[in-house]
Every structure is written in C-alpha cells, then in structure tokens.
Amino acid sequence: MKTLRVLVADDEQLARKRVARLLSEMDGVVVCAECASADEAIAAAKRERVDVAVLDVEMPGMSGMDAAALVAPHVPVVIFCTAHANYAAQAFDRGAIDYVLKPVDAARLRVAIERARERLAHDASRQVPAQLAIPTTTGIALVDPQSISHAVLDGALVTIFTADGATFLTSDSLAELEGKLPHMIRVHRRALVALDHVARLESIASGGYVAHTKRGHAIEVSRQSARDLRKKLGLRGETD
C-alpha cells in the first residue's frame, strides 16, 4: 500500500488536531503538514510532497475554496472538511474528491481517504509514456509527450505541434491521441491542448476562449469546453 502524505488546514486548532489524529491512526497515511490558514496550506503544498489536502472551507483571509485552486498544481486530490453543508456543490465544482461534515467521524474520514487513494491509483495508471510513437506520413516518429503543445484536426489528418517548433501529420485521430495523452484536454471537437504550454486565454464573444500557446499559436476553445476549463482551473465566469 502506498503511503499517502496528507496536508490538513483548519484555523480551529481543536478541529485541526482531531482530523490530524484520525488520519495518523489510519494505515498508510502520514500527516505531512498541519496549517492554520489557507496561506500556510499553499506554502506547505509548494514546499512538501503532498498527495491529499484536507481543507476547511471557512478560514480567515482566503477561504479553503480559493486555496484549493492555488494548491491544485501541487496537490493531486482535495477533500473539504467543514461544518457547513451548503458549500457542497461548489466544492465538487472545484474538483474535490469528497466533502466531509464536522464533527468529523473517523469512519467517514476513512471513506474520503480511500476515495482519494482510488483516484490517485487511477491517475497513476494513466501516466504519460516517456516516448510516444506517432504514425506519420513519412514513418513512425518517437516524440516526448510532454513537448506536445497541441493537436489540431485539419481535413482528414491531425497535425501535432511541439514546443520546439516541430510538427507531425498523423493518421491518429484526436480521440486516439486523447487516450494516449491524458495530460491534454479537449478544447474543441477539432483540437487538444496541453495547459502547460498555454500562455494566456483570450475571451471571445461566443463565450469561449482563444488559447494562445507560448510559441504564439492560437487555438479556439469552445463555449462548453471553456466552462469545463474554468472549473478545472478553479475559476468562475459570468456564464457559469
């Protein structure tokens, strides 16, 4: 069993200590940080290797909801732990794996941790391969998947673009590439994009975006995909 490193953030010391104690009593769980504020949680997430963040919602200054968006690049899974049931819908919109109500019950917290463990195991099974074999019009190209910035369907074939300026025309469909490249997201029925290569998102009248890559390419993001993307980034828009 993989040991999960868990961060706990709650401004109420007694509640924070209780959650930390319940977690420490579970097999395969280590509490790697106890934080009294959202700011402390964000700093710890950047400093420590954290698998799961257990965040209170209502904390002084920045809320747990806002903190979740900022720890997201560093922490794969978030669980909200709060006395208020009315934040549940917002929590799941922010991508939380679970929502535990206070006073925290040991068995209920264990269920949340097991859900987190299952999510992490699922994500690990979809890791990006070290080299991607791409069938092209001139043979098989071996490409570092992390270097791929986007892929666009143009006519019958898909063009793959990389960060170093290379392009590959492939017979693989976007759906096939989406399965091979789980770090990329579908932003349009004709395009996939890796967010790591996006410099900015430009709002457009349709309610979607134009994603501008760091190399200056522009890719349309549909209205529906823009809505999904805002949720992924922990943002809210006027049409949400």
- Condensed to tens digits (0 to 9), the pLDDT of residues 192-231 reads 999 889 999 999 998 999 999 999 999 999 998 888 788 7
Q: Which amino acid is at 41?
A: A
90-124 tens-digit pLDDT: 877 778 899 999 999 999 999 999 999 998 887 76
pLDDT exceeds 90 at position 132: no
Q: Model confidence at 239, in pLDDT bands (50, 70, 90)?
A: very low
Other Cβ atoms within 10 Å of 59 Cβ, number: 24
Tell me, what's the pLDDT at 68?
A: 87
Paired strand residues for 154 = 157
Residue 100 tokens read as 């535990």
From the CB of residue 46, how many other CB atoms can be counted at a distance below 10 Å?
A: 13
DSSP H or E segment with residue 118:
helix 106-124
Q: What pairs with residue 91 in β-bridges?
A: none
User: Please, what are the domains in the chain?
Assistant: 4-124 (3.40.50.2300), 132-233 (2.40.50.1020)
Q: Is the pLDDT of residue 76 over 90?
A: no
Which has the higher per-residue pLDDT, 234 or 221?
Answer: 221
Res 124: pLDDT: 66
